Every structure is written in C-alpha cells, then in structure tokens.
Amino acid sequence: MSRQGPRDTAEPTLPSVLAEHYKVQRLLGRGGMATVYLCTDERDGQSVAVKILREELGSAVTIERFLREIDFASELDHPQIPKVLDSGVIGELPFYAMTYIDGESLGARLKREKQLPIDDAVRIACAAMEPMTYAHARGIVHRDIKPENILLSGEK
C-alpha cells in the first residue's frame, strides 16, 4: 500500500500584473521553454492562449530567443496559425497572448489511437504543411515541429 502526499490543487495563475486582463482558466501545456495557459481576456471576454517564458529559463539568451519568437509570430497572418493579440514583459519574463485554437493535439490523438488511418494521416500532414510553407516563405522556421504542437481543429 502506498501513501500519497497532498495534491497540489492550486489553480495556475499568471503574474498579478496580467491578472487584471487575463483570468486563467486552465493550464494548456508546458514546453521546454514556456508555459501556456487558457485565459479569458476580461476586456472583451475572448478566450486566449497566453504563453509565458518559464521563470527558470530567464537568462538573457533565452529571453532574447523568446522575444524573437514573439516578433516572428506577430508577422504571420494565416488562418492555421494563432494570431498574436498582445505581448509584453512582466518583470523579466516575456509573454504573449494569441488566439486560442480549440482542439486536440496530434500527440494526444496518437496516444489515444496509436495509429491513424492512412487517409487521416495524409490529410493531417498536408494540412500541417500549409502554415509551415507560409512561414518558410517569409524566412521563418518553426524549430519545434512535433505531434504535441500540431492542433487538430475542424477539418484542418
């Protein structure tokens, strides 16, 4: 028999400066560089994804890289790429808010189904190529393409 310690049931929160505008609904994910939360923008009620650099990665080099990511993402205008709505720096940690795309990641679907039907795999691969081609034509490379970063929403 094993004993479990108390669970951390605290809801994730963003720094208090952002709390004026972004109310955290839930954690969407943690990556190697940042944490993403589903938030409600209390100014207009819109659901947004807020990506904030992880505190332990706040070195000058990492901050500069994250700020470049924000700049690059802000330049893109494609229906399959989340649009940057807002950005800033809290203390020393940069963040940006983007349109929220409701959907399951390809990674989650693969965990659930193990293998996709060939028609679905081809359709998803072709759909994923559209925004990548768009970004590449503008000199922007994603650098972290993996199933967890491909969202399946609607037909695309």
What is the tens place of the pLDDT at every residue in 101-117? 999 999 999 999 989 99
Q: Name the amino acid, one letter, at 10.
A: A
Mean pLDDT of 114-143: 93
Mean pLDDT score of the chain, rounded to an integer? 85
Q: Name the amino acid, one letter, at 106.
A: L
Task: Record the pTM.
Answer: 0.81
May I ask the CATH class of domain 13-102?
Answer: alpha beta
Considering 71, 77, 120, 144, which one is annotated as catalytic? 144
Burial of 100 (0-12, 13-18, 19+ CB in 10 A): buried
pLDDT at 146 over 50: yes
CA quadruple 12, 33, 108, 71: dihedral positive or negative? positive
Name the DSSP class of 44.
T
What pLDDT shows up at residue 143? 82
What are the tens digits of pLDDT across the range 56-79? 887 888 888 999 999 999 999 999
Mean pLDDT of 111-126: 95
Place of tokens 């759909």: 127
Identify the bridge partners of residue 51 per DSSP, sorted by sequence position.
36, 96
Active site residue 144: yes
What pLDDT shows up at residue 2? 37
What pLDDT shows up at residue 26? 86
Q: Name the amino acid, one letter, at 37.
A: Y
- The domain limits of the chain are 13-102, 103-156
Mean pLDDT of 42-63: 89
Alpha helix (H) ranges present in the chain? 16-19, 60-75, 106-113, 118-137
% residues pLDDT > 90 (the chain): 56
Distance CA 79, CA 52 (A): 23
